[in-house]
Chains A and B, each alone.
Chain A
Amino acid sequence: QKEVEQDPGPLSVPEGAIVSLNCTYSNSAFQYFMWYRQYSRKGPELLMYTYSSGNKEDGRFTAQVDKSSKYISLFIRDSQPSDSATYLCAPQTGNKLTFGGGTRVLVKP
């Protein structure tokens, strides 16, 4: 079993819809929970991160962490075609990131 599981998608939504992404993890030692966006043939770009269970909002993005169920979510409101990318969850312990497999998102105009 992988330490971090993520549905590979692709997840196709119409422009303006809410995109819902999630990951599950197995390592209780993870302390920080990162979400990265990766465009094709580019390096990952940090979107946001959370530390404790609960919600964190940044513009159109909301990250949720439920440590009791080891479940991480990212929501994108008012999705745009420019949001089309692969989204990677990456829990962190110490300074080591463990990446999920990524979910490919397609936002259609």
Chain B
Amino acid sequence: GAVVSQHPSWVICKSGTSVKIECRSLDFQATTMFWYRQFPKQSLMLMATSNEGSKATYEQGVEKDKFLINHASLTLSTLTVTSAHPEDSSFYICSAQASSGVSDTQYFGPGTRLTVL
């Protein structure tokens, strides 16, 4: 149980285009979903937290107009990287939590590798 999927697993796009990444909780309803970014040989950095039906909360330094997050249902959240540039190339990972309880485990997706040419 507690499986989280991401699509696509990798994507290559041209500079200036937008890319959408999907995160789905397959066997549970996710009240809260998180989006992380991981650069090579670095750890995961939280970008934003989203609760179903409400606006996402972005971490300091993350541009909300560039990284659009939609959490329209209890099983799906999307991250859209708008006007992508080479410096946005990274490994994007989502996680899902069954409720907003502080002890609830975050289950991570397999990640999406974005390369912007």
Q: Which residues of A contact B (CB under 8 A)?
A: 6, 8, 31-32, 36, 41-46, 49, 51, 88, 92-102
A43 touches B102 (CB 8 A): no
- The residue in chain B whose Cβ has the minimal distance to the Cβ of A42 is B110
- The residue in chain B whose Cβ has the minimal distance to the Cβ of A49 is B105
B108 at the interface (CB under 8 A from A): yes
Q: Which residues of B contact A (CB under 8 A)?
A: 4, 6, 32, 34, 41-46, 49, 91, 93, 95, 97, 100-111, 113
Inter-chain CA distance A100–B41, complex, in Å, is 12
B46 touches A96 (CB 8 A): yes
Task: Name the contact of A44 in the complex, choosing from B6, B46, B93, B113 (C-beta under 8 A).
Answer: B93
Q: Provided the pairs A42-B111, A43-B108, A43-B109 are in contact, do residues A95 and B100 lie with their beta carbons within 8 angstroms?
A: yes
Q: Provided the pairs A95-B32, A95-B97, A97-B46 are in contact, do residues A45 and B108 lie with their beta carbons within 8 angstroms?
A: yes
A43 touches B43 (CB 8 A): no
User: Known pairs A44-B44, A95-B49, A97-B46. 5 more at Cβ < 8 A?
Assistant: A43-B110, A96-B49, A98-B46, A100-B43, A102-B43
Q: Provided the pairs A41-B91, A88-B44 are in contact, do residues A31 and B102 lie with their beta carbons within 8 angstroms?
A: yes
Q: Provided the pairs A46-B105, A92-B102, A95-B100 are in contact, do residues A41 and B44 lie with their beta carbons within 8 angstroms?
A: no
Inter-chain CA distance A98–B6, complex, in Å, is 22
